[in-house]
């Protein structure tokens, strides 16, 4: 009886996994079809396998330029988020006064605000900074990175804050007695201990920033500055949609994320579990 339940459970899990992967099957299979085959049946395999639609999608998306833009924005944003958030969380924990607690609660509260409610005031403010102060915040990678750091800091500080509490003060005091500066204490003692939660922050932010469409669509107007998600919009016209090219473009878009996830998957459960236990 127990063996029968185990088989039934495994079968249900397998069916659930296949159902979950079904949209990926649809995207990949239809990326090799011409438009006639696609409209005949979206489930059937293509009559001919070839990469001509991928080549067309690469050219229409300007994929290499979009890939470079996405890499620059993602790497710079995550680097700044990790740097500022870890230092902020460390100082908030070590200060332990009413002001630091108030700052932490404000950061946590901002996580509850939907981006859609502030996106228009945000763009008006960014335009005002550009027009009044001469700082280019719209249609530049720097402005987009600045906004990503602002939106990603609250969750990162929240994660770091809980983990920093587990770092023994005695380690920091010993380093200070040995002549280490405050900056040296953080970088040589504290930050290496934060590796599990740092990996968690990086994974979450990579998936968020790499796949984000809404904020770049509001910020980046120039075609040369577009990221990969924005480039896929080239296949969706006002009256027609090139579904086969769109499927090829979407497949190209998710390949870097899948590669990153496979490379970092061993750190995901380790980082989350370590933070939970701590």
Model confidence pLDDT, tens digit, residues 82-101: 999 999 999 999 887 888 88
Residue 4, token pair as written in the block = 């029968």
State the pLDDT confidence band at 5, using cuts at 50, 70 and 90.
Answer: confident
What does the alpha-carbon distance between residue 138 and residue 124 come to, in Å, rounded to a whole number? Answer: 10
Instruction: Write down the domain spans for the chain.
Output: 53-277
Sign, CA torsion 41/42/45/49: positive
pTM of the predicted model, to two decimals? 0.84
Mean residue pLDDT across the chain? 85
- List the one residue out of 218, 255, 257, 254 whose CA is nearest residue 74: 257
Q: If you write DSSP's letter for every residue of 6-58 in order, what string do you get?
A: HHHHHHHHHHHHHHHHHHHHHHHHHTTS-HHHHHH-SSSPPSS--SHHHHHHH
Angle at 103 between CA 97 and CA 106, to 5 degrees: 140
Q: What is the CATH number of domain 53-277?
A: 1.10.3720.10
For residue range 192-248, what is the model confidence (pLDDT) as tens digits? 998 888 988 988 898 899 989 889 998 988 888 899 888 888 777 666 777 888 888
Task: Tell me the CA end-to-end span of the chain in Å, nearest whole number.
Answer: 39
What does the alpha-carbon distance between residue 228 and residue 226 come to, in Å, rounded to a whole number? Answer: 7
Q: If you average pLDDT over residues 151-162, what whole number do you get?
A: 92
Q: Does the pLDDT of residue 273 top 60, yes or no?
A: no
């Amino acid at each position: 009886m127990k063996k029968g339940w185990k088989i039934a459970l495994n079968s249900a899990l397998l069916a659930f996994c296949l159902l979950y992967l079904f949209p990926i099957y649809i995207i990949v299979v239809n990326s090799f079809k011409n438009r006639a085959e696609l409209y005949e049946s979206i489930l059937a395999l293509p009559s001919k396998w070839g990469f001509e639609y991928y080549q067309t999608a690469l050219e229409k998306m300007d994929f290499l330029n979009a890939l470079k833009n996405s890499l620059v924005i993602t790497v710079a944003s995550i680097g700044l988020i990790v740097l500022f958030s870890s230092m902020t969380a460390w100082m908030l924990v070590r200060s332990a006064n009413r002001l630091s607690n108030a700052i932490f609660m404000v950061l946590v509260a901002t996580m509850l605000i939907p981006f859609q409610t502030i996106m228009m005031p945000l763009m008006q403010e960014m335009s005002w900074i550009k027009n009044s102060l001469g700082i280019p915040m719209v249609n530049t990678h720097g402005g987009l990175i600045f906004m990503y750091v602002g939106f990603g800091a609250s969750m990162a500080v929240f994660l770091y804050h809980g983990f920093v509490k587990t770092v023994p003060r005695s380690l920091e005091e010993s380093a200070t007695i040995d002549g280490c500066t405050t900056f040296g204490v953080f970088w040589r003692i504290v930050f290496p201990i934060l590796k599990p939660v740092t990996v968690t922050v990086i994974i979450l932010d990579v998936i968020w920033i790499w796949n984000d469409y809404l904020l770049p669509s509001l910020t980046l107007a120039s075609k040369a500055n577009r990221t990969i998600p924005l480039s896929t919009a080239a296949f969706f016209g006002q009256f027609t949609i090139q579904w086969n090219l769109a499927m090829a473009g979407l497949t190209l878009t998710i390949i870097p994320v899948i590669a990153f996830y496979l490379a970092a998957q061993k750190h995901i459960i380790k980082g989350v579990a370590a933070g939970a236990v701590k």
